Structure formats: C-alpha cells, structure tokens
C-alpha cells in the first residue's frame, strides 16, 4: 500500500506554500498517514472526472472510485442537502429512507435458493468487513480465514489481520491463511485452468488450518483483486474456490468495496461476473459518492447465527442523510446508464492503451473490466519481470501531466486506472497521451 509516498527529503524542491502545508501535516497528524507524490497535490475543487488544485490547474482523476458518479455530482449534493436540512438521526427510530433504499438495493441482488437477503449499514468498508468476519465466525463456529497475499480489507483488528497489503509490519492473524491471487499473466497459467488452480490453493489453505485444529469460518475476496494487481479475467474463475469453501463449512464474503456499483460494466456487482451467489456481501466506497456510507448484505440464515445473540448498533450507519446519498447514487447509476457506459468507454480505453505496447515494450499487460483497469509495467515483455521503479517514476510523470493515479500488485508495478464513472471517451486521449509522453520521457 505504501506506494508513491512523499517523504521529508522531497520537501526541498517544493514551492513555499506546498512545503508549509506538508510541514503543518507532519506537525499535527499521526505518522501513519501517507501523502501521494514527491510534489504533493493540493486539491481544492472537484467536478465530474476532474480535480482542480489551489493554482487552478486541472487534473484528470484516474484513481477515485469513491466519487464514483463524479466529484460533487449534483444529484448527491442535492439529496444530502435536502435531507440534512430536514432530519439526521440514527436507526433506532422509524424512517422510510433506509427501507426504501434497502428495497431498491436488493433488486440488484440475485435470487437466493433459500431464505432472504438482509441488509445492515455502517460508515466504512472496514466496518462492513469487520462485521462480516464476525458473522462468519458465529455461523460457522470456526475461526479460520482465507484471503489473498496482497489483499486489503480494512483497518480494524480483524480486518487488518487479513490485509497483507499493509506490509510486513502488520501481523497476519494466526488463524488466517494467505493464498496467491489468480493472476493469469504472472503465473502463465492457462486461463481455462486458473479457477481450478486457485481452488487447489484454497483447498490447501483449508487443509493447513484444519491440520492445526482450526475450522474455516470464511474466505474473503475482492472479486477484481484490485490490491493484488487488478485481476478481472477470466470471469467465472472464483466459482470453484467458493464451492471448496462451502464444502469445508465456511462462507464466502464478497468484498464489493472496489468492484461494486456498476464499475466493472459487465454486471452491477463483481461477484456476479463470476456467477457466484455469496453468503455475505460488503459494500463501501462508491456507495455514497463521497458520503461515508457502507453496508453488509447477508443471507438471513447466516446472519441469524450472529444477530439472534448479539445486538449491533452503529451510531452513524444507515442515517437518513447517508441513505439519501446512497439512494441518489443508485438512482443516478440507472438514470445515466453508467453500467453500460463503464463497459463501453472502459473497453475502448483499453484498446487505446494496448496500442501503447507497439511503442513501449515496458507495457507488459493491459487488463480490466469496465472502468477498472490494470496496466502492468515490466522490464521486458518476454521475461515479464515487474518494473516497480518504472511504475513509481511513471506516476510522478503522469502527475506532472495532470493525470492522477496509483499502483497496485505485489510488485507495485501495476498502474491502477479506476476513474469516476463520469470518465468520457475524450478523456482517453489525455490519459494515453500522458502515458505515452511519460514513458518516452523516461526513455522507455
Ligand atoms: N475492502 C477493500 C477491497 C478496500 O479496497 C478497502 C479500502 N481501500 C476496504 C475494504 C476498506 O474500506 P474503508 O477504507 O472504507 O474502511
């Protein structure tokens, strides 16, 4: 996760105003915070897919899936303002907002073989995953968790224990096992076999847990494996692993914080691309277009094992203002046809990016679904050796050309291109031109 971070030694080259802000930050904010870029960006305004800094410079936001409809989308601003002027309380009083939203949200979920979906609301993805892990333990009677080797699932004790992306300083829970992500490009495994390959890894992890007397509670995964390097293809590869998990008495938690809410273009949810019906689904980031709202949707029979015994109250979770924001997001995704848009504009963008391979052999792989793309930088396409230094240098070059993004993957060499869904075909020229110029400037 520690990628293109600003470090104190970069301060010398900064203009006085930027330098003063970085110094104020380090004087008063906790040292765990990281700041992007050697020349940090001081943003003051956002509109759609664009951001503006204090000098009025315009940037193309290729990073932000939180402002998913676009920065400051008027439908969300209006819905939040209206509700804030009327009432904002908690879920211990009756209110239609949370019920209307839940009815609407659940229309996007697949039919269950038995029982019903039930929704609960929080403020962050971490809280949603934390609750899902607790529910999984209650239902299964087990303690064991499986996650991927570069996964990120949150900030709490439970979720950070299954978040190896936090680096070697973060202990992995003793009851957790990590499996390599299903990476077709890096493993070179036949795409038709990657599902079976991945299921074998999950089976081995379950065996290892059981050999130490730990029963499986849950396998948790982000179905586009964004922090593992953006691994969307081939759709369907997760299904076999989920069967293995269920056979061992565990549940599958689909962490939709990254792929959810239409981003992948093909489906509204990432899990749907894999033809899976999860046991627990966690929602976050794009859900409120910037308002902190998150959720957990669960099969009622799974949830009951927890909720029949343990109350759950989240002071801000599900409040009328958050629900108004979430409703405006759902309504706008449909009204603006953003799922189909993400699909069309995302695949056109990837064709253009693919074209860069002809001029720059550092571009090893371009992959994605909808408006979620990973571009892998390598020393040589034949060896596929990851080029982390180049990726970090490209981030800085892109920033100088007004394009903001970051990197992902175990080697930190995959450019993560994940703009607001407001991204338009015309923005592709800016992105591809900036990337082309950046690689050329770096002699690659
Ligand atoms: N799950 C995934 C897949 C995430 O990417 C993140 C945030 N990067 C989280 C969970 C945690 O969400 P939050 O930061 O809202 O707690």
Instruction: Give the position of tokens 């293995």.
Output: 244
Q: Which of 435, 362, 380 is nearest to 404 (CA)?
A: 435
* Average pLDDT for runs of 10 along the chain of length 444: 75 93 95 93 98 98 97 98 98 97 98 96 98 98 98 98 97 98 97 98 98 98 97 97 98 98 98 98 98 98 97 98 98 98 98 98 98 98 97 98 98 98 98 98 97
CA nearest ligand 1 atom 8, residue: 152
Q: What is the DSSP letter of 122?
A: E
Decide the pairing of beta strands 216-221 and 251-255.
parallel
Decide the pairing of beta strands 58-61 and 403-404.
parallel
Distance from C-alpha of 181 to C-alpha of 187, rounded to nearest angstrom: 10
Residue 81's contacts (CB-CB under 8 Å, 6 or more residues apart) are: none
For residue 255 and ligand 1, the question of a CB distance below 6 A is answered with yes
Instruction: Give the position of tokens 């993004």.
Output: 405
Q: How far is CA 226 from the centre of its chain?
A: 6
Structure-block tokens of residue 236: 């369907």
Distance 230 CA to ligand 1 centre (A): 15
Q: Which of 78, 120, 126, 49 is nearest to 312 (CA)?
A: 120
Decide the pairing of beta strands 406-408 and 117-122.
unpaired
Decide the pairing of beta strands 280-283 and 251-255.
parallel
Structure-block tokens of residue 348: 């056109």
Residue 108's contacts (CB-CB under 8 Å, 6 or more residues apart) are: 268, 269, 330
| Cross-strand bridge partners of residue 396 | none
On the CB side of 327, how many CA atoms lie within 13 Å of its CA?
A: 21
Q: What is the DSSP string of 204-243?
A: HHHHHHHHTT--EEEEEE-TT-TTTT----STTTTHHHHH
pTM: 0.97
Q: What are phi and psi of 125, to 5 degrees?
A: -60, -35
Q: Which domains does the chain have, with CATH numbers?
A: 1-31 (no CATH), 74-335 (3.40.640.10)
Distance from C-alpha of 50 to C-alpha of 157, rounded to nearest angstrom: 35
Q: Which of 257, 259, 228, 224 is nearest to 238 (CA)?
A: 224
Point out the ligand 1 atom lying closest to the alpha carbon of residue 285: 15
Instruction: Give the position of tokens 């050796």.
Output: 385
Q: How far is CA 344 from the centre of its chain?
A: 20
For residue 288 and ligand 1, the question of a CB distance below 6 A is answered with no
pLDDT value, residue 197: 98
For residue 368 and ligand 1, the question of a CB distance below 6 A is answered with no
3-class DSSP state of 252: strand
3-class DSSP state of 248: coil
For residue 222 and ligand 1, the question of a CB distance below 6 A is answered with yes
Distance from C-alpha of 59 to C-alpha of 366, rounded to nearest angstrom: 23
pLDDT value, residue 1: 52
Q: What are phi and psi of 290, to 5 degrees?
A: 120, -25
Distance 257 CA to ligand 1 centre (A): 6
Instruction: Give the position of tokens 């253009």.
Output: 352
Question: Quick check: 421 and 68 in contact, CB under 8 A?
Answer: yes
């Amino acid at each position: 996760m520690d990628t293109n971070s600003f470090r104190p030694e970069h301060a010398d080259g900064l203009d006085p105003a930027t330098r003063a802000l970085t110094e104020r930050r380090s004087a008063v904010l906790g040292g765990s915070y990281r700041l992007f870029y050697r020349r940090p960006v001081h943003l003051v305004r956002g509109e759609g897919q664009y951001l503006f800094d204090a000098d009025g410079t315009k940037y193309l936001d290729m990073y932000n899936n939180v402002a998913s409809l676009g920065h400051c989308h008027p439908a969300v601003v209006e819905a939040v303002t209206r509700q804030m002027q009327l009432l904002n309380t908690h879920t211990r009083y009756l209110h239609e907002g949370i019920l209307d939203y839940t009815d609407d949200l659940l229309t996007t979920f697949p039919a269950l073989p038995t029982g019903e979906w039930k929704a609960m609301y929080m403020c962050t993805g971490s809280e949603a995953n934390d609750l899902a892990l607790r529910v999984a333990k209650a239902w299964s009677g087990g303690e064991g968790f499986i996650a991927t080797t570069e996964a990120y699932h949150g900030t709490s004790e439970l979720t950070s224990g299954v978040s190896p992306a936090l680096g070697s300083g973060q202990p992995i829970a003793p009851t957790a096992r990590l499996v390599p992500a299903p990476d077709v490009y890096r493993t070179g495994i036949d795409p038709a076999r990657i599902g079976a390959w991945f299921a074998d890894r999950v089976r081995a992890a379950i065996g290892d847990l059981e050999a130490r007397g730990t029963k499986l509670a849950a396998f948790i995964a982000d179905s586009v494996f964004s922090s593992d390097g953006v691994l969307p293809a081939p759709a369907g590869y997760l299904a076999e692993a989920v069967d293995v998990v269920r056979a061992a008495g565990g549940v599958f938690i689909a962490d939709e914080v990254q792929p959810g809410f239409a981003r992948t273009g093909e489906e509204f949810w990432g899990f749907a691309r894999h033809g899976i019906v999860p046991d627990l689904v966690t929602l976050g980031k794009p859900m409120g277009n910037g308002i902190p709202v998150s959720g957990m949707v669960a099969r009622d029979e799974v949830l009951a094992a927890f909720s029949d015994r343990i109350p759950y109250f989240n002071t801000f979770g599900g409040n009328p203002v958050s629900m108004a924001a979430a409703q405006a997001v759902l309504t706008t995704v449909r009204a603006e046809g953003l799922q189909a848009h993400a699909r069309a504009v995302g695949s056109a963008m990837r064709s253009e990016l693919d074209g860069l391979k002809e001029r720059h052999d550092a571009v090893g792989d371009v992959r994605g679904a909808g408006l979620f793309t990973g571009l892998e930088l390598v020393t040589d396409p034949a060896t596929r050796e990851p080029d982390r230094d180049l990726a970090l240098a490209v981030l800085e070059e892109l920033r100088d050309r007004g394009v903001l993004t970051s990197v992902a993957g175990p080697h930190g060499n995959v450019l993560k291109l994940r703009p607001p869904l407001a991204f338009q075909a015309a923005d592709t020229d800016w992105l591809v031109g900036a990337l082309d110029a950046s690689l050329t400037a770096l002699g690659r």
